[in-house]
Amino acid sequence: MTRKIIHCDCDCFYAAIEMRDDPALVGRPVAVGGRAETRGVVATCNYEARAFGVRSAMPTGRALRMCPDLVVLPPDFERYRAASRQILAIYRDYTDKVEPLSLDEAYLDVTGVDRCRGSATLMAEEIRARIFAEVGITASAGIAPNKFLAKVASDWRKPNGQFVIRPEEVDAFVVDLPVKKLFGVGQVTAARLERLGILTCGDLREWALADLIARFGKFGRSLHRLCRGIDERSVSPDRPRKSLSVETTYVTDLPDLAACVAAVTPLLDDFQRRFDRLDPAPAVHKAFVKIRFNDFTRTTAECVATTPAAVDWPALLATAHARQARPVRLLGVGVRFVEEADEAHGAQPGLFDEDAAARD
């Protein structure tokens, strides 16, 4: 049976909750994130702010320069989590195969579900209407035969819209899709592909599997499948945790390696407290240190490890810092857990793995 996958994603979720709770914000550019004076970043922003070029993960100071009237609000995760519980309850009214990706975003496998005469399109419309009526915010949805295409489709008619890709439409839809829309293709990989003359999935299809593997390592297999619209991943309600990390952006740049070594100690204490709360703790596969330098370039150094205690963190930090040897604005430490699923079967990259191909 052809699968019916819905990807639901609330529109500018944090900002939407703020506008819902304070109608005076409606129509004004709004961002949720850290303060500019503490080197905060934008977590999310509404569409009025996006019209000025403001984007998620942008430094708040830069966002304010682009949009001087921007209203910057601190995040209130208690309210966001309360709304998330309502949204997830709505999703689970339709199927028990719900895979949350964040507080407001999830995949739903509605294959064989009888509601709405078995129509995934009608179910998505009903879900979106219920989110608006019961939670007070809008959501967008994508409907497709697999997770990759459903996620792409949900972004097609944002905000407050939905788009369906039927099985017979997959090939024609994917052939013109920009390669930057593929899982795992971030800015670095997209630039590498562009240098090879690969801009669309149609361009990518002209490359043989062996050639893609030679260029991109195991990520080449994912590229070969995804450019043909193939994604065999199932919706996993109990998706295992892939990593655990903590990071800090410093008000004043850390000037050298010695300052970084001193700063990483409290960071590791925080990480260890979080790690100790995992019950049970998954098996550790690798440990990593993440650095963002004062020119906003970033690097990650990692090593094989079985426990955080077994890691020579100062040495790992020194390896990462030596790549630029310049002041540091952000430090992060963490571990990656052993994964049961092989990446070669299309597992979605983690948050810090958007340019997986660049590391292979």
Give CA–CA dist 129/138, Å, rounded: 8
pLDDT of residue 239: 73
pTM over 0.85: no
Residue 7 — φ and ψ, nearest 5°? -110, 115
**Average pLDDT by stretches of 10, the chain with 360 residues:** 94 97 97 87 95 93 96 94 96 95 94 95 98 98 97 95 96 95 88 95 96 93 95 87 88 92 92 88 92 92 91 94 94 88 39 32
Kindly name the residue from 105, 168, 206, 340 that is annotated as catalytic: 105
pLDDT of residue 346: 39
Beta-carbon contacts of 93 under 8 Å, excluding residues fewer than 6 positions away, are none
CB 30 within 8 A of CB 70: yes
Give CA–CA dist 71/276, Å, rounded: 38
Strands 139-144 and 162-164: parallel
Binding residues for Mg(2+): 9, 104
Task: List the domains of the chain with CATH numbers.
Answer: 5-11+78-170 (3.30.70.270), 14-77 (3.40.1170.60), 174-226 (1.10.150.20), 243-342 (3.30.1490.100)
CB 261 within 8 A of CB 321: no
> Residue 311 is which amino acid?
V
In degrees, to the nearest 5, what angle opens at C-alpha 142 toward C-alphas 44 and 32? Answer: 5
Beta-carbon contacts of 86 under 8 Å, excluding residues fewer than 6 positions away, are 134, 135
pLDDT of residue 348: 40
Give CA–CA dist 78/33, Å, rounded: 15
CB 212 within 8 A of CB 189: no
Active site (annotated) includes residue 105: yes
List C-alpha distances in Å: 17 to 20, 89, 137, 215.
Answer: 5, 17, 7, 44
Positive or negative: CA dihedral 161, 167, 170, 173:
negative
Binding residues: 9, 104
Tell which residue, 332, 243, 319, has the closest CA to residue 286: 243
CA 114 to chain centre: 31
pLDDT of residue 85: 96
